[in-house]
Structure 1
Amino acid sequence: MKIIQALFIIALLLIAPAAYACRFWVAVGTDLDREFIVDQLITAKNSLKNLGEIYPDGWSVGFYDRGDEVVIRGDEAASFNAEYDEAVRYIAVLKPEIVMGHLRRASSGCVEGVPNPHPFRITYNGRKWLFGHNGGMRKQILIDLIGEDFLARHPPAVCNQNPPESWIDSELYFLLIMKSVKEFDDDVEQGIRAAINKLYARIEDEDRYLNFFMSDGETVWIFRKGNTLFYRFDPQSRMTVVSSTVPDAEPNDWQEFPEDTLAVIRPQEFPRFSVMK
């Protein structure tokens, strides 16, 4: 097993950094089973815990409690951090309707001694927004698209000690999307579409690593471009789970998330997919 993991790490190093920058997992449903959450995030073959050695730059797990976001973070690899297990088991007992987990493999911004900043937070229009990213892009492109005026009024909240070098591209990505949502009178889907189209116009197809999840506590929006992403939907419980890597040893229940596609997911509803191109 150690040899296989070592070969996997070597293979990753030969790939563009943005292609393996992070991993995320999101579950949405009104009756998320405690054992299921623990299995997916701790005990499954490819759980976030077991991937922590490969994605070592911190972890986070989060959920919503009556509209308020709660995020627990660590700056060590999840594989070796008992606090990760404690956080997952704590959340699993609460059985929230939206649960998310994220592992960071830093490709941008500050790293040392910094708990995983994903998911990033913004309070806007009375709602608490969370955003996590799996990928990477040139920060200058994002800065140009956001604009100096907006950045002056809404600077990144994380790793801002030596901007723009210390900024994280993922948080800038979040700011670009939120700016676009505001420009479209809070129409989230139209705002996301406009932001993605702006990025497509500036970034060549082979360099587009744009996977993200975003939530306001009631809805989850998930987009895939450039990295692996999979989903499963249980029609009986109407639970939707989306993951960068299939956690289970038997992946038969999982389907590949379509490229260039946005999913809109709410508890007790079928996920709705729309192509962004």
Structure 2
Amino acid sequence: MCRLFGFRSIIQSQVHHSLVSAENALEVQSNRHPDGWGVCYYIAGSPHLIKSEKTAVNDSIFKTVSGVVSSETVIAHIRNATLGKVSLLNTHPFQYGPWVFAHNGNIKNFDKFKDQLLDEIKPRFKRFILGSTDSELLFYFLLSDLDDVTDTTKLDCSIEVLQASIKKSIKKLTSIVGDYCPHDEGKNTETYLTFLLTNGSTMVAHQGGKKLYYSTFKVKCVERDTCPHFSVECEAPTVTGKVNHLIFSSEPLHGENTWIPLELGQLIGVDSEMKLSISSSN
């Protein structure tokens, strides 16, 4: 299926290595996931989204964008289409206001359940569904529940509120379409709900059957002697509850970061103050 990359940090950082030059970078992975790419990065709290239906490894714009991005928050996606034709409208990430969403997965028998799922989406969101993918509909399904508990046009959503809303949405979704597949090796027609969601300030990831890894520290930071933000959490698991960076990737990226697999049903995220929160949707 698709591949995801998410990044949150206390400082603006470049992600060119992760997207292009690392041995297992998204550009390399696009050889197996050729159906479009998208990169979203935040500047002054606003998302800047660039997408293409071309294969990332063959697209000079992907290299250009990856080279200039410097941000505290980044989400990137490369697509291997399962539902919906290869087109710009079906390319991830999807955006509404400050919220950005990328999905690695599928909803089994989507055509059968589409109308029922649409009924759960608030009317003011429905008109923004422009493509034909289950992923875009899932985004607005999640936003509709979130909109019941917070103002989705603003940036002050706590990680606790976001995780609780996602748990509610997943429970409701699976009551309609059935449980998601518990292992990565299932057919690509099975339901998978692995995704990233952020408003640029709070970010959360859900492991819904497709593998996802996260990193909050490095074996050794090469900038430990020069970075003014260096702390013990940069090279070890947090003891304070806060982290300096949080990275998500569908596959571990070669380099200095220590990668930990998310468990099935696990929700991991950070708030605006980089407080790490780990819970479960089960």
Given candidates 70, 74, 79, the residue that maps to 1:99 is: 74
Contact 1:59 1:115 in 2 (8 A): no
Distance in 2, Cα, partners of 1:72 & 1:225: 26
1:238/1:268 contact within 8 Å kept = no
Residue 245 of structure 1 aligns to a residue in which SS?
coil
Normalising by structure 1, we get a TM-score of 0.79
Give the unaligned 5+ runs of structure 2: 152-160, 182-189, 218-232, 235-242
Distance 2:245 2:273 in 1: 7
1:158 is aligned to: 130
CA contact (8 A) 1:60 1:116 kept: no
Cα separation, 2, equivalents of 1:197 and 1:78 = 34
Deviation readout 1:82-115 (Å, 9 max, x if unpaired): 1111000111xxx31101211011111231x436
Q: Distance in 1 between matches of 2:163 and 2:38?
A: 26
For structure 1, the residue ranges without an aligned partner over 5 or more in a row are 1-19, 160-166
| Alpha-carbon offset, residue 251 of structure 1 | 8.2
> 1:182 is matched with which residue: 131, 147, 153?
147
**Residue 262 (str. 1) matches residue 237 (str. 2):** no
Aligned residues: 239
Aligned to 2:50: 72
Residue 31 (structure 1) aligns with: 11
1:39 Cα deviation from its structure 2 partner: 1.4
| Identical aligned residues as a percent | 24
* TM-score where L is the length of structure 2: 0.77
Q: Which residue of 1 aligns with 2:101?
A: 131
1:61 CA drift (Å): 1.1
**Matched residue of 1:30: which SS?**
strand
Q: Does residue 1:199 correspond to 2:173, yes or no? A: yes
In the superposition, relative to structure 1, how do residues 115 and 83 fare at CA in structure 2: closer, same or farther (>3 Å)?
A: farther
In structure 1, give the amino acid aligned to 2:80. R
Pair 1:193–1:222, CA change in 2 (3 A): same
Q: CA deviation at 1:247?
A: 1.9
Mapping of residues 1-277 of structure 1, within 5 Å: 20=1, 22-34=2-14, 37-91=15-69, 95-111=70-86, 113-114=87-88, 117-123=91-97, 128-137=98-107, 138-139=109-110, 140-147=112-119, 150=122, 154-159=126-131, 167-185=132-150, 187-201=161-175, 202-206=177-181, 207-234=190-217, 235-236=233-234, 238-248=244-254, 253-266=258-271, 269-277=274-282
Residue 272 of structure 1, CA deviation: 1.0
Q: Which residue does 1:13 correspond to in 2?
A: none
Deviation at 1:134, TM superposition (A): 0.4
2:121 & 2:38 partners in 1: Cα distance? 31
Change (3 A) 1:251 1:116: farther
Contact 1:76/1:115 (8 A) holds in 2: no
Q: Assess, with a 3 A threshold, how the Cα gap between structure 1 residues 47 and 254 changes in structure 2: closer, same or farther.
A: same
Instruction: Describe the SS at the equivalent of 2:141.
Output: helix
